[in-house]
Amino acid sequence: MSRVITKQLENRPHFVTECTLLVEGIHNGSGGPLYYPADELQRSAPRWNGIPIVLYHPVVNGVGVSAMSPEVFTNRRVGFCFGARMIGNRLVADAWLDVERLQIVDYDLFVQLNKGEGPIEVSTGLFTSNSPERGIFNGVAYTAVARTHLPDHLALLPGQVGACSVDAGCGLLRNSENRELDQFDHLAEIFPFLNDVYEPETDDAQSEEAAEEDEIVAYYFGSGGAPI
């Protein structure tokens, strides 16, 4: 089960939780439907350590760009990936999310993570060498294989759907729906102002919010939209 804990990195509080970056399979990203084999995911794992986590994919004039720039770090970066590893057919990493940066970049996302609410869609920004190979994986045909993965960033996609979606097995807090998590007391020690703005929800309010979230998640999952 996914957990969110708070740890210090460079003397700054960070939310830390496991994230599934990719699973073996066919994913339809900006390069079209590609097969991502487990052996390539395994080889790429060490390269994900230290890779920045940003809010949405950085885009300039409608074209995706690298996150490795001062502008993206200033405006979009919220953390880093560490401890990348394979678990079965899943490439996972520990997402270290800077609490103060989250409040600046996307306060709603900060609140969601503080409550341990998920799931949250993610999408990998990486360069691949696509080999024209034909085959079938789990009954689905493919014409190219994504090899030599060179990670650039991991994008958090609140309100959107990634190429490797939560339904496909990727994302943050995928198993957190029924989990009770209360980090507020600990965070309030770090950020006393939270005591003035946080109001616990009633059971009725929580039930209504859960129903609304179910509707939104179902809509996005059913939309079939491509990641941005």
In a domain, 47, yes or no: yes
What is the residue range of 161's domain? 5-188
In a domain, 207, yes or no: no
Backbone φ, ψ for residue 103 (5° rounding): -65, -30
Both structure tokens of 221: 């999952």
Residue 228 has pLDDT above 80, yes or no: no
Residue 92 has pLDDT above 80, yes or no: yes
Beta strands in the chain (DSSP E): 5-9, 12-23, 25-29, 32-36, 52-55, 59-60, 63-64, 77-87, 90-98, 122-131, 135-137, 140-142, 145-156, 171-172
- Rounded-to-integer distance, Cα 34 and Cα 124, Å: 14
In a domain, 216, yes or no: no
In a domain, 218, yes or no: no
Q: What is the pTM of this model?
A: 0.76
In a domain, 128, yes or no: yes
In a domain, 85, yes or no: yes
In a domain, 224, yes or no: no
- 29 or 143: which leads in pLDDT: 143
Give per-residue pLDDT as tens, 11-63.
Answer: 999 999 999 999 999 988 767 789 999 999 999 999 999 999 999 999 999 88
Whole-number Cα distances in Å, 167 to 12, 73, 92: 33, 29, 16
| Vertex 90: Cα angle to 88 and 96 (nearest 5) | 125
Residue 205 has pLDDT above 50, yes or no: no
Q: How many CA atoms lie within 13 A of 51 on its CB side?
A: 26
In a domain, 172, yes or no: yes
**What pLDDT shows up at residue 172?**
96
**What pLDDT shows up at residue 196?**
52
Domain total for the chain?
Answer: 1
Mark residue 171 as left, alpha or beta (left: phi above 0; alpha: psi -120 to 50; beta: remaining). left
